[in-house]
Structure 1
Amino acid sequence: MHTALKLTTFAAALAATFGAAYGVGNAVDPVVSDDDKTAEAAQHGGHAADKEKDGGGGHSGGAEAAGGHAAELPGGLQISEGGYTLDLKTSRIEAGESTELNFAIVKNSTGRNVTAYQREHEKELHLIVASRDLTVYRHLHPTRAADGTWSIPVELPKAGGYRVFADFKPKGAAEGLTLGSDLAVSGPYKPAELPKAAPTAIVDDYKVTLNGELRPGAASELQLNVTKSGKPVRNLQPYLGAYGHLVALRSGDLAYLHVHPNGEPGDGKTNPGPQVSFTATAPSKGAYRLFLDFKHEGKVRTAAFTVYAGGAPATAEPTAEEHGSEDGHGH
């Protein structure tokens, strides 16, 4: 089962739906541990699928109509949207030092912090922190106090400009939101080039292979295959109710998209690896950074890829292999 994941330009809406994760047989013996056999299947929401009929998904609005009509901005580009504001109380931290990051979601009509949320993928709020050069990435789950203030310790390895994304759905709201705010990390700063495009990413002893091309204006299949020490991993563990999570950030403006598979662990038809598949459409050319979170043997890991919709620039020379970025989790 596949659905569309749409990554749009700044002037067009960012809208996406995510295909179901599925496993593919392989002649090589799989990696299976005894502990994994007892893992319980978690439940997983399917809000991305709800928007399939509208051609949109994720947490940002789709185009109002075809033919160049005005559309909503992609997620994460605004600090205030839909009647809510991201109040980032910690706007500056030091590189290499653990610092408490504090923020709140404020309802504009009342000026008060939001204290009631709808849980999505087992959490009330997902927090993403990424450097503007897209070489540092954190997927965090902060703690909410009774007054609506969120907090979590964060340590970022290098100085520079960062973007903080709050992905949430207030209780009673029809749609989820992704709000973004800038975070400055002090220290000596040297911006890095966008990592080169490569078909594989190495994370610890795991290799994740990306097959397929992201094409502008046409749907294409992207397949992510997870192996460990050369053997297919057929027992990916549920992480936030799914076998894989994808965050896509567009190079340049860091437009944000957080999508999930539609299949649920334990639903009798979704296999836990080694392959997770998506059908994707990019309406325009551009560079994107994809971060795939997956869980195995009790640990969440992130595989990062650079992809070009419509082909890489002439100056870009793909390498055979790309090692993981400075990714991390705060779960």
Structure 2
Amino acid sequence: MLLRLLLAASFVAVTVAAGGAPAVAHAPAVAADTLLAQTIGGMELTLAIRRATEVPGPLRVDVIPHVPVRALPIEVTVRSATSTAVATGSARLERDAARTYPVALTVGESGPHWLELRAGDEFSQLPFQVLLPRASAAQLWTSGALAAAALLLIGALAAAGLGPRRIALPLGGAGGMALVVAATLAVAPPADPAGAAEPAGRPYVQARFTAVPAGADLLLRFTLLDSSTGRPVDDLVPHHQALAHAVVSSVDGASLHHLHPRRTAAGQLEMRLRGARPGPYRVDVEFEREDSGGQLVSGRFEVAGAARTEAETPATLPTTPGRVVAGRPVQIEIDTGPGRVQPWLGMAGHLIVRTERGDFLGHAHEQASMAAGGAVPDDTVAAFEPRLRFAFTFPEPGRYFVWLQYARDLRIVTVPYVVEVAP
């Protein structure tokens, strides 16, 4: 009996010490890639910053443009936020060629960095982190305890089979205790990845909005100030694969622009609105300040010109149940047609919801892609079924404008709907 127990314990200890499941399960969780959306040069881009495996070492940035693609060079620079290290490359986008454009760079250290983009006369600077796995003290002690357990149990096994058995029992007991210690240490939380910033609380921000002509376009600018100090806010963190998300919608609900503002200076977000229909608009920008959760800021402006009426007539939003009641959740299921859809902003689909009078803006993400979590690939992979499902609760009665957005063949498709919500 003693020999069989020692054989079993030795097998477990040797397997775990050699790289079994406990050691792997508690390795630091470092994201494989960083994906950031950016509206620049009249295009919607996704920047895929591939995971750095060592520093100093190579860093690859893939520029993925969505249709329509302009013939335009994109200069890409990676700059350390804590030193003078900098590397620059470029990608020359080809007209109507929606594909991956790789840029090979180098990175010299872990920690906070800036990804800088230049496209024509537009500039943007996006923050990202170079993170490398780092073992915690608990993991190091776990490895030592497992190694000790393996040696003690192998010694006990040898003593039980070849030597005096009175030695085998103390050796086996010591090996068992080492296993208990290793199992206890294994449940300790992993260390933060190398380069991760220390958390610190932040207040909400105050926002000033301006809209000024920029040639045939309109330049929309938000200036973000700390509500306690009045200083420019410069600690926004990417969320849902963008530094900030802007929804620009006409007051009559006839048009929608989903943009991703450029960070042009500390506390300054800009976006260039192109080809907008004349009339009044509202703009809502969502962002997250470090350790402060999400915040929505808004503004209103008007595009000059004679009113046009050729906007697409929206369909009625398909819901279950068919009668939508304020405060009660509904299921929304939409068939996008043949062919699988690609992720955009980490999801298979987005539903943007606005009241007719413009005092509420909400959004929902497609359920299957939400369940996939961090396993969603980049925008080039047709990863999801064409039937998209959402759940949403309309907060109050009235008429709502709803826009569905999804991507296929690297083209972002926007479909308008309306829904009447009963009391």
State the TM bucket, normalised to the shorter chain: 0.5 to 0.7
Contact 1:238 1:265 in 2 (8 A): no
Distance 1:178 1:194, change over 3 A: farther
Encode CA deviations 1:204-262: one digit per residue, 9 max, x unaligned: xxxxxx353333343322111110xxxx33x2111011101111011113411133242
Q: What's the counterpart of residue 122 of structure 1?
A: 241
Assess, with a 3 A threshold, how the Cα gap between structure 1 residues 114 and 129 changes in structure 2: closer, same or farther.
same
Question: Cα–Cα, structure 1 residues 303 and 239, in superposed 2: closer, same or farther, change >3 Å?
Answer: same
- SS of corresponding position for 2:253: coil
User: Any idea what SS the aligned residue of 2:237 has?
Assistant: coil
5+ long unaligned stretches in structure 2: 1-97, 101-202, 377-382
Report the CA distance between 1:264 and its aligned residue.
Answer: 2.9
Residue 163 (structure 1) aligns with? 282
- 1:278 & 1:88 partners in 2: Cα distance? 32
Partner of 2:205: 84
- Equivalent residues of 1:125, 1:168 under 8 A apart: yes
| Structure 1 counterpart of 2:40 | none
Aligned residue identity for 2:218: T
Partner Cα distance (2:355, 2:274) in 1: 23
Conserved? CA contact 1:134–1:194, under 8 Å: no
Structure 1: which 5+ residue stretches go unaligned? 1-35, 39-81, 200-209, 312-331
Match of 1:135 in 2: 254
When the two chains are superposed, the root-mean-square deviation of aligned CA atoms in Å is 3.2
Q: Output the CA distance in 2 between the equivalents of 1:150 and 1:218.
A: 36
> Which AA in structure 1 matches 2:231?
R
Aligned partner of residue 225 in structure 2, secondary structure: strand
Separation in 2, partners of 1:151, 1:281: 32
Q: In structure 1, what residue type is equivalent to 2:316?
A: A
CA contact (8 A) 1:247 1:290 kept: yes
Shift of 1:187: 2.2
Separation (CA, whole Å) in 1 of partners of 2:315 and 2:405:
18
Equivalence for 1:177: 295
Distance 1:299 1:193 in 2: 20
**Is structure 2 residue 382 aligned with structure 1 residue 277?**
no
Q: Percent identity?
A: 24
Instruction: Count the aligned residue pairs.
Output: 214
Letter in 2 for 1:155: R
1:155–1:112 Cα change, 3 Å: same
Instruction: In structure 2, give the amino acid aligned to 1:220.
Output: V
The answer to whether residue 372 in structure 2 is matched with residue 264 in structure 1 is: yes
Distance in 1 (alpha carbons) for counterparts of 2:419 and 2:302: 27
Greater Cα radius of gyration, structure 1 or 2? 2
Structure with higher RCO (Cα < 8 A, 6+ apart): 1
CA distance in 2, matches of 1:161, 1:192: 16
Deviations 1:137-186 (A, max 9, x none): 1000121023232222212432221101111111121x201111111222
Q: C-alpha displacement at 1:197, in angstroms?
A: 4.3
* 1:48 match: none
Specify the code of the residue in structure 1 equivalent to 2:399: A
Matches within 5 A, 1:40-119: 83-90=204-211, 92-93=212-213, 97-119=216-238
Match of 1:7 in 2: none
Q: Give distance in 1, aligned partners of 2:391 and 2:261.
A: 31
Distance 1:102 1:198, change over 3 A: same
Output the CA distance in 2 between the equivalents of 1:87 and 1:192: 33
Residue 270 of structure 2 is matched in structure 1 by 151
Query: Would the aligned equivalents of 1:243 and 1:295 in 2 still touch at CA under 8 Å?
Result: yes
Residue number among 306, 311, 319 corresponding to 1:188 in the alignment = 306
Equivalent residues of 2:219, 2:271 under 8 A apart: yes
Taking the aligned partners of 2:335 and 2:417, their CA distance within structure 1 comes to 13
Structure 1-normalised TM-score?
Answer: 0.57
Does the aligned pair in 1 maintain the 2:354–2:400 contact within 8 Å? Answer: yes
Q: 1:242, 1:263 within 8 Å by CA — same for their partners in 2? A: no
SS in 2 for 1:263: helix
Q: For the Cα contact (< 8 Å) 1:226–1:273, is it kept in 2?
A: no
Q: Which has the higher helix share?
A: 2
The question of whether the paired residues in 2 share the 8 Å contact of 1:125 and 1:167 is answered with yes
CA distance in 1, matches of 2:229, 2:313: 43
The structure with more strand, counted as a fraction of residues: 2
Q: What's the CA shift string for 1:284-312, capped at 9, x where partnerless?
A: 3211111111011011111110111139x
Pick from 323, 326, 336 the counterpart of residue 226 of structure 1: 336
Give the whole-Å Cα distance in 2 for the aligned partners of 1:211 and 1:290.
12
CA contact (8 A) 2:356 2:400 kept: yes
